[in-house]
Amino acid sequence: MSLPPLSLPDDLASAHAALLAEREARIRAEAEASSAKAKLSGIEALNAHLQLLIAKLERDKHGPSRERTQRLIDQMELQLEELVADATEDELASEAASAKTQTVRAFTRKRPVRKPWPENIERERLVVDAPTACTHCGSERLSKLGEDTTETLEEVPRRFKIVETVREKFTCRDCGCISQAPAPFHATARGFLGPNLLSTIVFDKFSEHQPLNRQSRRFRSEGIDLSTQTLADQVGYVSAAVKPLFDMIETHVFAAERLHGDDTTIPILAKGQCITGRIWTYVCDDRPFGGLAPPAAVFYASSDRRGEHPQRHLAEFTGILQADCYNGFNPLFDRSRKQIPVTPAFCFAHARRKFFELADVSRSARRGKGLRPVSATALEAVKRIDALFDIERDINGKSAEERLAVRQEKSKPLLDELEAWFRLELEGLSRSSPVIEPINYMLSRWADFARYADDGRICMTNNAAERALRGVACGRKNWSFAGSERGADRAAIMLTLITTARLNDIDPKAWLADVLTRVADLPVSRLRELLPWEWKRIKAVAISVAACWFPRRTEPVRRIISIEN
């Protein structure tokens, strides 16, 4: 079927009018398409945001140990960043296209409600010159009616200052001796950097994973020339200054009745080549059963993963060790080799992960292994273990006696059923079945896995140690490797202090700054005051005393700074 021929106007005026109409229709169509695209981008961004909120709520509901949840949340946050940026670009394009026509309205995406600024934030007031005459009639008889204020959040680059400490000298007219006030203590020996700056350097290096060479470049861009050697020299001073606190935290950790232990890899540069060392951590955290002992963590570094390292770390420890089934721990559990052996309690999260990997089809596809059928046995094992985790979430934070009572009533029967089901499944599985390995992994150590049901202090997982090591795992790609074995030991000392401060819900950077201010001038008998939990308690008492003497104002006082040219 042939289409009818296109009719064109005969005269020039009609052709010109047709062209204008065609152009207007095209512009209107482009504006409508741009507006629709912006609307679609906004919907996609909103959808991604809602999915992210749902995932976070599910994580809060099901607990931080749920597999794949955190990985999916991280991925969704990256997707949300890109979608919001795309939506903003499309919105600007829609505004530009709608400006060319009067018939199509530009699409405006709804933004989230902005949270109020902190009351104690520094404020700067800029007053625009008021008009001297009426903009309508020109009269100069004006009376102030009010004012409109627009708030803009701005960044002030980091400011540096030199603190000059002046010590005046006086001479005695009678004996001629010279008197002078003693020199102030420095945070580091022969140091010239203040405690706040030192705290920033070590915190950025060991917690924010910014190597000293990158910090040196950043300082140089801000007008301060601090070489990498100078920064490294000061880091060495700091680690030596805080070593007594590390020793006190170490003593506190190994005096606990129950510890979480784990390790992770750390590249170490040794003899011109990079070797795979280990960072070990031991965490005491009694908060899951309402314990009163302050939480703390201690870190160690080693050049390999031989069992002699944890055996040396735990040589004097006689309590409960929660860990994975690493063979290097086995001599600690042997009653024939140790008078008071360590009691093992193994991690259900490690055991569950082995089953979950066999039931995670999407992960296998992402790794290029192709789709494979889900193991029904592995999936059922995950469901049964998840039922045990559901019980634990309801009793987290309760006393050891309450936890024990609930576990005996609810968890113990499920554990007995799980063990019986494992043994029954083994009889019907072929020798080549991949699910045999995780089943034997648990059955061969069943008493140590199920021990948590008979002791309210024991946790079901070793996640406390894994959380302590998360910073090391996240930072490996940033700092690439530890410069030496001593550098790895130094990192272990600083990680001990920073992680312990975080476990006690205090700002590690502020605490380190105060420690470096006082540690050189504080007697050894009072060093305990600088431990994170003691520091926090003393600060709380000081704040409460100050609140009694100086009642809090009902209205916050805002700081106003004028601009000087």
Token output for 50: 């809602």
278: three-class secondary structure by DSSP: strand
pLDDT at 257: 92
Rg (CA), the chain: 33
Band (pLDDT 50/70/90 cuts) for residue 451 is: very high
88-104: average pLDDT:
72
Angstrom distance (rounded) from CA 391 to CA 412: 11
Tokens 């946050």 belong to which residue? 77
Token output for 26: 């095209």
User: Between residues 227 and 85, which one has the greater pLDDT?
Assistant: 227
- Report whether pLDDT(63) > 80: no
pTM, entire model: 0.72
pLDDT digits (tens, 9 = 90+) for 133-177: 887 888 888 787 778 787 777 766 677 888 888 888 888 888 888
- Report whether pLDDT(359) > 80: no
Band (pLDDT 50/70/90 cuts) for residue 180 is: confident
CB of 246 closer than 8 Å to CB of 493: yes
Q: What is the largest CA-CA distance in the chain?
A: 125
What backbone torsions phi and psi does residue 298 show, to the nearest 5 degrees? -125, 140
Give the least confident one: 15-19, 199-203, 247-251: 15-19
Angstrom distance (rounded) from CA 465 to CA 24: 67
pLDDT at 226: 82
What backbone torsions phi and psi does residue 343 show, to the nearest 5 degrees? -90, 120
